[in-house]
Amino acid sequence: MKKRAHVLHEMLAGCVQRKDYSALIKFLPPKYEYILGVKLGELQVKTVPAISRHVKRRQIRCERKLFQDFQILGRVWTHPMMLELYRQRKSENSFIDDETSEATPSTSHNEDGSDILVRDSDDSQGSWRPSKKNFHSHQRRGVTWWKEEVKDIKMNDISLGYKFVLLLEILKKCEEIGDKVLLFSQSILTLDLIEDFLEMIDKAVNSDKDEIMKTLYGSSKWRKGTNYFRIDGTVDAKQRARATAYFNRPQNHGAKLFLISTRAGGMGINLVGANRVIILMRRGTVLRRSSNLPGIQIWAEEASLCIQITG
């Protein structure tokens, strides 16, 4: 095979040229990369012991779901509102919960889209499984167990998650200097929550009532399809092409942000209009190799910046 490849290379030498990244270094602007670890907020810290109690109660019922428990922790680490958002999605018929499975063994998908093999305990004696009626009752309690911990707390308060406070501050500064930002996340729910917060800010700007919100997060508009765009698995090829073309036009200064799921937009997408990248991760998360995010290159006239927010 090596010999054949060598012969083929010789035959194509006159018409095919192969170059690596080093050939472009002198033409590309410098890229600066920063990893920012963000500590948990008070409510997030308070909720972690509640998760531990919830897991112990499930263990008493012989329900062991390691990966589902990790997903719960991930939501809390991102922002407490993720718990409520997940509950809402659970109650919608259009939302498919791919994080859990009762099959033995079975293949499941977490909310990030990666495959997980789920097995029951190896201890076959004394195992107990609830009836369908009890199972759905346990499932409902499993979605709302955290309600007691957040009584009288406004869950959609951005300041409850410092990661989002930092994110919106970065977006505010980028807007002030005219930068365009790409934001990658493996979690669809995280992208949904970002959209919810941007909508809150946009409403505050239009109402002229919430001066505190405008002071903290800027006074510009955030309209989907004009000021920010999104690519995930539900966006078809035509919509992608229109959104990327609009975002890349230099004269469209109002197009400031592109939200991208790593699975749907991690490869083969050309957003040359951006000069800033934010990778929003949660602790313990490993980027899929196919997402190609470590190889992000930004073709811009000025220096580019890649920020990874984790915690």
Amino acid identity of residue 116, one-letter, is: I
Max Cα distance, the chain (Å):
73
- Say what the alpha-carbon torsion angle 38, 41, 45, 50 is, to the nearest 10 degrees: -120
Rounded distance between C-alpha atoms, residue 156 and residue 82, angstroms: 9
| Secondary structure of residue 309 in the 3-state scheme | strand
Six-digit token string for 292: 């190609």
172: nearest Cα among 150, 197, 146: 197
Instruction: Return the CATH architecture of domain 23-39+161-310.
Output: 3-Layer(aba) Sandwich (3.40)
Amino acid identity of residue 95, one-letter, is: F
Identify whether the C-beta of residue 309 lies closer than 8 Å to the C-beta of residue 98. Answer: no
Cβ contacts of 267 within 8 Å, gap of 6 or more: 290, 291, 292
Phi-psi region of 309 (alpha: psi -120 to 50; beta: other; left: phi over 0): beta
Identify whether the C-beta of residue 44 lies closer than 8 Å to the C-beta of residue 80. Answer: yes
Q: Tell the burial category of 177 from Cβ atoms under 10 Å away from its Cβ (0-12, 13-18, 19+).
A: exposed
| Domain map (residue ranges) of the chain | 23-39+161-310, 42-150
Q: What is the pLDDT along the chain (311 residues), one digit of tens a residue?
A: 777 887 887 888 778 777 777 887 787 777 788 888 888 888 878 877 777 777 776 666 666 677 777 777 778 888 888 888 888 887 775 554 444 333 333 334 444 443 333 333 333 333 333 444 444 444 445 556 666 666 767 777 888 888 988 999 999 899 888 899 999 988 889 999 999 999 988 888 777 666 666 666 666 788 999 999 999 988 888 999 999 999 999 888 889 999 999 888 766 778 888 888 898 876 655 554 444 454 455 444 455 567 777 76
Q: Tell me how far CA of residue 111 lies from CA of 49, 55, 114, 220, in angstroms.
A: 23, 20, 8, 31
Q: Tell me how far CA of residue 22 lies from CA of 18, 27, 201, in angstroms.
A: 12, 10, 43
pLDDT on residue 305: 66
Rounded distance between C-alpha atoms, residue 32 and residue 69, angstroms: 35
| Secondary structure of residue 231 in the 3-state scheme | strand
pLDDT on residue 260: 92
Cβ contacts of 1 within 8 Å, gap of 6 or more: none
Q: Tell the burial category of 18 from Cβ atoms under 10 Å away from its Cβ (0-12, 13-18, 19+).
A: exposed
Rounded distance between C-alpha atoms, residue 277 and residue 258, angstroms: 10
| 276-285 per-position pLDDT tens digit | 889 887 665 5
pLDDT on residue 298: 47
Q: Which long-range contacts (CB under 8 A, 24 or more apart) does 27-32 make?
A: 28/297, 28/299, 29/298, 29/300, 29/301, 29/302, 29/303, 29/304, 30/303, 30/304, 31/297, 31/298, 31/303, 31/304, 31/305, 31/306, 32/303, 32/304, 32/305, 32/306
Six-digit token string for 127: 């195992």
pLDDT on residue 221: 82
pLDDT on residue 40: 85
pLDDT on residue 249: 92
pLDDT on residue 107: 39
DSSP string, 16-33: -----GGGTTTTSPPEEE
